[in-house]
């Protein structure tokens, strides 16, 4: 079990912490009544969001990147879903995985690699002019087109930190 991810999910599912309406107000103790936790699981695996995806592309191009993505997608059920479900259900919560919607996964798997990841030179103008990172390009472009510019430009951060991508 990947304990760093499991720990972050454990505390997120617990739903107890400090919350503040804005930066000027002192944070107060808060317990969420939410019964469902949304997870971003699948986004990195489908759209090339891990550092090893960049490394694979830089070493051997699209062929190695495709192999790495296929490996990640194929082990989601064995490696990630069970871990996440066990940790989240510990607190009587349910998890939802929007990026693992069957139709979205089908589309992502069939999508040409250069359209969902921006590692190559093909179609680069659509993300370079916007200063968008190549990892998860299609999600960043979608966020940008929806007016979520800061989200589209955000660097990837570890689980447990706030952020969309």
* pLDDT band with cut points at 50, 70 and 90 for residue 54: very high
Mean pLDDT of the chain: 87
pLDDT bucket at 159, cuts 50 / 70 / 90? low
pLDDT score for 25? 82
pLDDT tier, 64 (very low <50, low <70, confident <90, very high otherwise): very high
Looking at residue 163, what is its pLDDT? Answer: 42
Instruction: Dump the DSSP string for 33-95.
Output: ---EEE--TTHHHHHT-SHHHHHHHHHHHHHHHHHHHHHHHHTIIIIIIHHHHHHHHTTT-EE
Report strand pairing: 36-38 vs 94-96.
parallel
Q: Are 99 and 41 in contact (CB under 8 A)?
A: yes
pLDDT band at 121 (very low <50, low <70, confident <90, very high): low
Q: Which of 110, 38, 39, 23 is nearest to 69 (CA)?
A: 110
CA distance 155 to 51: 12
Which CATH code of 3.40.50.2020, 3.40.50.920, 3.40.50.620, 1.10.10.10 fits the domain covering 3-153?
3.40.50.620
């Amino acid at each position: 079990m990947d304990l760093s991810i499991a720990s972050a999910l454990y505390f997120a599912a617990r739903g107890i912490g400090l919350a503040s309406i804005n930066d000027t107000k002192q944070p107060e103790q808060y317990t969420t009544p939410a019964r469902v936790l949304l997870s971003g699981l699948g986004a990195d695996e489908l759209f090339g969001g891990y550092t090893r995806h960049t490394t694979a592309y830089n070493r051997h191009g699209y062929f190695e990147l495709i192999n790495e993505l296929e490996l990640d997608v194929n082990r989601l059920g064995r490696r990630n879903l069970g871990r996440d479900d066990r940790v989240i259900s510990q607190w009587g919560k349910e998890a939802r995985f929007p990026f693992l919607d069957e139709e979205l996964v089908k589309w992502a798997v069939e999508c040409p690699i250069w359209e969902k990841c921006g590692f190559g030179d093909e179609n680069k103008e659509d993300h370079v002019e916007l200063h968008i990172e190549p990892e998860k390009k299609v999600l960043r472009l979608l966020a940008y087109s929806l007016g979520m510019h800061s989200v589209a430009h955000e660097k990837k951060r570890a689980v447990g930190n706030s952020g969309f991508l």
